[in-house]
Amino acid sequence: MNFKENLCRKSYFFSLYIHCNYGISLGGIMGKRFLCLILAILIAFSAVGCSKEDLGNARLFDAGQTSDADTFEDLTDDWFCRQMEADPMSCHFTLENPDAYHITFSDQTLCTLTMEEHIKEMDEIKNLLDRLKDIDRNNLTARQRLVYDLMKDYYGLEEKLGDYYYYQNLLSPTAGIPSSLPVLLSSFSFHDTEDIECYLSLLEEMDIYFGQIYAFATEQTKLGLMENTDSLQQTIDFCASFSQVQADHLLLTSFDDRIKNAAFLDEAEKASYISRNQSIIYDVVLPSYLSLSNQLSSIIDKTDDNGSLSVKEKGRTYYALLVRKNTGTKESPYTVFQEIAAKRQEDLFQMADLFAHNPALASMLGSYTCPLKTADDMIEHLQDSIQNDFPTCENVTVTIHEIAPQLRQTSAPAYYLIAPLDSGGYHNIFYNPDSNADTTSLFTTMAHEGFPGHLYQTAMSYQYGLEPVRALLSFPAYTEGWATYVEYMSYQYAGLPDQLASVLALNESIVLSLYASADIGIHYYGWDRASLLEFLENYGIKDQDVVDQIYQLIVEDPANYLHYYVGYMNFASLQKDYKDAKKDDFSYMEFHKKILQTGPAPFDILRDALLGTS
């Protein structure tokens, strides 16, 4: 998955800046085999952006004095810069050199999580959409028309989602603000003293910010929209644990390491910054986490066990909008549910056919292994292995890190921290050694996060000239669907027999489809735990403890499984249709090149770019 969505508008805050392969380990409960194969489940975060300024104050352009193409260019540049100026933290992860874009900051604060601010943000979006309507799309260049369509699609949907402000789950144990914030803070890079001062200023705002989170949670509780009891308890426990004073606390050690490596500081300056950070952590940050834990404990008795959106007022309508956002389609939950079931049945038939033609595959499943042992070796191998199927990615430097021990329990198996637009080709992948138990699992994780997954897709988007304004837009079905699609392809690069590679990829698809179906079943059709067990029993999952874990994962982040599976499903369908259209002229290289040149987009727009029809 990726961490790269603007950090806070509508408060679903950190998710866009991490792309991550999120797994669940059920080894101790049901073993490593399901359908005689590996059980590997992926989920994702979702997020949207943050802005503070009224677009009404933006420069106005007279269409009579300039061309529509120039007006649109000015509008997108202006919108991008204003979003960056309104949110220093988002800007830091989007641009290394904001001065090149003439971006200045009036203050260095975290976002404001209030209804008043939300209303202002929605007014800005409405103003933006009105200004887009004033531009004649036919007068734009082909590339501008693409960006125009993407902005209308993205912000049009954001405007609809704006009516559901208090439906957001800011306190998800895996994707919420308290658990995600340490990831960003510990990854906040220091290129100069301005970066350090920005970072420390943000930390000093933590008590105010967490106070707003609690106020948000209190209002959610009054409206009957708070997450379920188990989810909230996990967040309470995390906040309490993270608030403990320790000499090796992540926010102390990670800061110290970055400061010690800051060549632009002398020793006295380094010591001063380390001392300042320590004071802020002890006096502001850790007390903020402890206070939030205590405050949430005071309202947990007002929650219940049912986390389904279907039981909340207008919950099904909200979920239908989430389905649209997280699938990159305009299809209803009912239609998506049927398509998932059809794809699963197709995969089951293919798997059965493989076993029928090669019974020895069953005995191979317990003995396969990837010969590569380290994540660095795997990334290097994947870079070499994909060259016949994917365009060349130029000037990329990859650094692989282990996720800090303090974050491993709530962390994904791995994530890619999206590089700034002007990063110069430097990219970072973080993986959880506690979650990647075998080399084949680690190999496919590196494919998902690295090559030809998130890192590669991001680098190629930049290489093909991704417009800055598109860094504000999130199309998770494209990004996570792509990473899942290439992850399944990566079995072909792992040194496994072809049929075994096919079986493993089919298994991943089948298992993920079950979670995608369960997501819609729980949040749209109102499945309870008993209904979920009844569904999963058809596929060999009969352990109630396992079902309870699956239920809990799904209620924590509605529609998140859909980015992965429905995104993958649409890429697989697009590949088939592109093959049919090109016939003997089809090549994976050209197919993938067109996808990457188009960049993140809903699937109707992507399909039109490749096939000329949606």
Contact 413, 21 (CB under 8 A): yes
Task: Show Cβ contacts of residue 272 under 8 Å, excluding neighbours closer than 6 positions.
Answer: none
- The answer on pLDDT for 548 being more than 90 is yes
229: tokens are 């009891």
336: tokens are 């998506």
What pLDDT was estimated at residue 366? 75
**What pLDDT digit, counting tens, does each position of 39-59 carry?**
222 222 223 233 333 333 333
For the beta carbon of residue 444, count every other beta carbon within 10 angstroms: 28
What pLDDT was estimated at residue 428? 95
* Lowest-confidence region among 230-234, 289-293, 429-433, 602-606: 429-433
3-state secondary structure of 613: coil
Residues 106 and 66: their CA atoms lie apart, in Å, by 31
Residues 523 and 380: their CA atoms lie apart, in Å, by 41
Task: Show Cβ contacts of residue 248 under 8 Å, excluding neighbours closer than 6 positions.
Answer: none
**What pLDDT digit, counting tens, does each position of 313-349 carry?**
999 999 999 999 999 999 999 999 999 999 999 999 9
- The answer on pLDDT for 552 being more than 80 is yes
19 residue type, one letter: H
402 bridge partner residues: 431
**Residue 611 belongs to what H/E stretch?**
helix 603-611
Task: Show Cβ contacts of residue 593 under 8 Å, excluding neighbours closer than 6 positions.
Answer: 390, 391
Residues 18 and 466: their CA atoms lie apart, in Å, by 18
What pLDDT was estimated at residue 18? 62
Residues 102 and 80: their CA atoms lie apart, in Å, by 11
3-state secondary structure of 375: helix
**What pLDDT digit, counting tens, does each position of 563-592 carry?**
999 999 999 999 999 999 999 999 999 999
Residue 281: alpha-carbon gap to chain centroid = 27
Phi-psi region at 35: left, alpha or beta (left = phi > 0; alpha = psi -120 to 50) = left
pLDDT band with cut points at 50, 70 and 90 for residue 5:
very low
- The answer on pLDDT for 294 being more than 80 is yes
Residue 78: alpha-carbon gap to chain centroid = 26
Contact 15, 47 (CB under 8 A): yes
Residues 418 and 458: their CA atoms lie apart, in Å, by 7
What pLDDT was estimated at residue 408? 86
What pLDDT was estimated at residue 20? 65
What DSSP assignment string belongs to 442-500? HHHHHHHHTSSSHHHHHHHHHHTT--GGGGG---HHHHHHHHHHHHHHGGGGTT--HHH
What pLDDT was estimated at residue 369? 85
Residues 565 and 42: their CA atoms lie apart, in Å, by 9
241 residue type, one letter: S
Mean pLDDT of 104-132: 92
Backbone angles phi, psi at 193, to 5 degrees: -65, -30
Mean pLDDT of 434-458: 93
**Residue 429 belongs to what H/E stretch?**
strand 426-431
- The answer on pLDDT for 547 being more than 60 is yes
For the beta carbon of residue 54, count every other beta carbon within 10 angstroms: 13
371: tokens are 């010969």
Task: Show Cβ contacts of residue 118 under 8 Å, excluding neighbours closer than 6 positions.
Answer: 10, 162, 165
Indicate the average pLDDT of the chain. 89
Residues 572 and 592: their CA atoms lie apart, in Å, by 12
**Residue 430 belongs to what H/E stretch?**
strand 426-431
Residues 502 and 508: their CA atoms lie apart, in Å, by 10
Q: How big is the CA angle at 41 (ends 36 and 44), to the nearest 5 degrees? A: 170
Residues 439 and 230: their CA atoms lie apart, in Å, by 33
pLDDT band with cut points at 50, 70 and 90 for residue 468:
very high
- The answer on pLDDT for 75 being more than 70 is yes
Which of 116, 138, 157, 188 is closest to 602 using CA atoms?
157
Residues 468 and 80: their CA atoms lie apart, in Å, by 7
- The answer on pLDDT for 224 being more than 70 is yes
What pLDDT was estimated at residue 211? 97
**Residue 18 belongs to what H/E stretch?**
strand 17-21
Tell me: cis bond preceding 391? Omega within 30 of 0 counts. no
CA distances from 385 to 399, 426, 482 (A): 19, 21, 18
Task: Name the more confident of 510 and 60.
Answer: 510
Contact 571, 600 (CB under 8 A): no
* Lowest-confidence region among 19-23, 331-335, 365-369, 379-383: 19-23
- The answer on pLDDT for 195 being more than 90 is yes
Residues 450 and 416: their CA atoms lie apart, in Å, by 7
Residues 121 and 128: their CA atoms lie apart, in Å, by 11
Mean pLDDT of 385-390: 98
> The pTM is what?
0.90
Contact 2, 416 (CB under 8 A): yes
- The answer on pLDDT for 515 being more than 80 is yes
Mean pLDDT of 453-472: 97
- The answer on pLDDT for 9 being more than 90 is no
Which of 184, 146, 175, 155 is closest to 600 using CA atoms?
146
Q: How big is the CA angle at 515 (ends 511 and 521), to the nearest 5 degrees? A: 140
pLDDT band with cut points at 50, 70 and 90 for residue 190:
very high
120 residue type, one letter: K
Residues 575 and 489: their CA atoms lie apart, in Å, by 13
Residues 250 and 447: their CA atoms lie apart, in Å, by 28
Which of 367, 494, 468 is closest to 97 using CA atoms?
468
Backbone angles phi, psi at 426, to 5 degrees: -95, 125
pLDDT band with cut points at 50, 70 and 90 for residue 613:
low
What pLDDT was estimated at residue 29? 26
40: tokens are 């590997």
**What pLDDT digit, counting tens, does each position of 146-185 carry?**
999 999 999 999 999 999 999 999 999 988 999 999 999 9
* Lowest-confidence region among 6-20, 110-124, 273-287: 6-20
250 residue type, one letter: L
